[in-house]
Amino acid sequence: MGVVCLMRDVTEQKRLEQIRTEFVANVSHELRTPLTSINGFLETLLDGAIDNPKVARNFLEIMNGESKRLSRLIDDLLKLSSLEDKKSSLNKQPVNLKELICETVKMLSARAQEKGIALTMAIPDDLPEVPGERGFLEQVLINLLDNAVKYTLSGGIIEIGALVNGKEIKVYVADTGIGIPEESLPRVFERFYRVDKARSRDMGGTGLGLAISKHIVEAHGGKIEVESDQEGSTFSFILPR
Ligand code: ADP
The ipTM of this complex is 0.98
Tell me if residue 223 falls in helix, strand or coil. Answer: strand
Q: Which atom of ligand 1 is nearest to the CA of 208?
A: 6
d(CA 179, CA 86): 33
Q: Which of 194, 199, 216, 234 to mutate to test the pocket of ligand 1 (most atoms within 8 A of CB)?
A: 194
Q: What is the mean pLDDT of the chain?
A: 92
> Is residue 76 a contact partner of residue 212, using CB atoms and an 8 Å limit?
yes
In ligand 1, which atom is closest to the CA atom of 205?
A: 2
What confidence tier does 175 reach under pLDDT thresholds 50, 70, 90? very high
Q: What does the alpha-carbon distance between residue 135 and residue 216 come to, in Å, rounded to a whole number?
A: 10
Residue type at 200 in one-letter notation: S
Characterise 202 by phi-psi region: left (phi > 0), alpha (psi -120 to 50), beta (else): alpha
Distance 51 CA to ligand 1 centre (A): 40
- Across-strand partners of 162? 171
- Asked whether the predicted pLDDT for residue 221 surpasses 60, the reply is yes
User: Please, are residues 106 and 143 in contact by the beta-carbon 8 Å criterion?
Assistant: no
Of the chain, the percentage scoring pLDDT greater than 70 comes to: 98
Residue 79 above 90 pLDDT?
no
pLDDT computed for residue 11 by the predictor: 86
Give the burial string for 107-130 (b: 16+ CB within 10 Å, else e).
Answer: ebeeebeeeebebeeebeeebeeb
Report pLDDT digits (tens) over 148-173. 999 999 999 999 999 999 999 999 99
The pLDDT assigned to 88 comes to 60
Partners of 233 in beta bridges: 228
Name the amino acid, one letter, at 17. E
The pLDDT score that the predictor gives to residue 90 is 84
Ligand 1 midpoint to CA 210 (Å): 7
Pocket test for ligand 1, best of 30, 80, 151, 230 (most atoms within 8 A of CB): 151
The residues lining ligand 1, judged by C-beta closer than 6 Å to any ligand atom, are: 143, 147-148, 151, 175, 177-178, 180, 188, 193-196, 200, 205-211, 233
CA of residue 147 to ligand 1 center, whole Å: 6
Query: Is the confidence at residue 54, as pLDDT, over 80?
Result: yes
* pLDDT the model gives residue 198: 83
Separation between Cα atoms, residue 206 and residue 189, nearest integer Å: 13
Q: From the alpha carbon of 201, which atom of ligand 1 is closest?
A: 3
Answer with the residue of higher pLDDT: 162 or 29.
162
Which residues touch 108 (CB under 8 Å, ≥6 apart)? 119, 142, 145, 146, 149
- pLDDT at position 87: 62
